[in-house]
Amino acid sequence: MNVSKFKLKEFCIITEDNFLVNLSTGRVYELNTTARDFISLLQEGRDFEQACQEISRKYSIPLEQVRKDFLEFVNQLRELEIIDL
């Protein structure tokens, strides 16, 4: 699976207070700060690796841990049909 770039489905939004809302189902998911930052970086055009590197630097988290965590996060979003890869 290529996770270098993705976008939120058109019926999903992120609120200012870090909630991801699926408008078609009414489901709401709370995002932590790193997840919100990660999605923002991808929406700004950075690829998966660039976003992981920035999160690693900003929060002093080992890069391999960031990659592992966000690969799992992206898979969860895909399974919930929140993103397009």
- Distance of CA 33 to CAs 1, 3, 10, 14, 77, Å? 25, 20, 22, 12, 16
pTM equals: 0.85
Q: How many structural domains comprise the chain?
A: 1
Q: Domain range spanning residue 13?
A: 7-84
Q: What does residue 4 show for φ and ψ, rounded to 5 degrees?
A: -60, -35
- Distance of CA 52 to CAs 4, 21, 32, 57, 64, Å? 11, 23, 15, 9, 9
In a domain, 1, yes or no: no
Query: How does pLDDT run across 5-34, given as a tens digit for each residue?
Result: 778 899 999 999 999 999 999 999 999 999
In a domain, 15, yes or no: yes
In a domain, 73, yes or no: yes
Q: How far is CA 23 from the centre of its chain?
A: 17
Contact yes or no for 55/46 (Cβ under 8 A): no
Q: List the single range of 20-24, 41-45, 81-85 with lowest mean pLDDT.
A: 81-85
In a domain, 2, yes or no: no
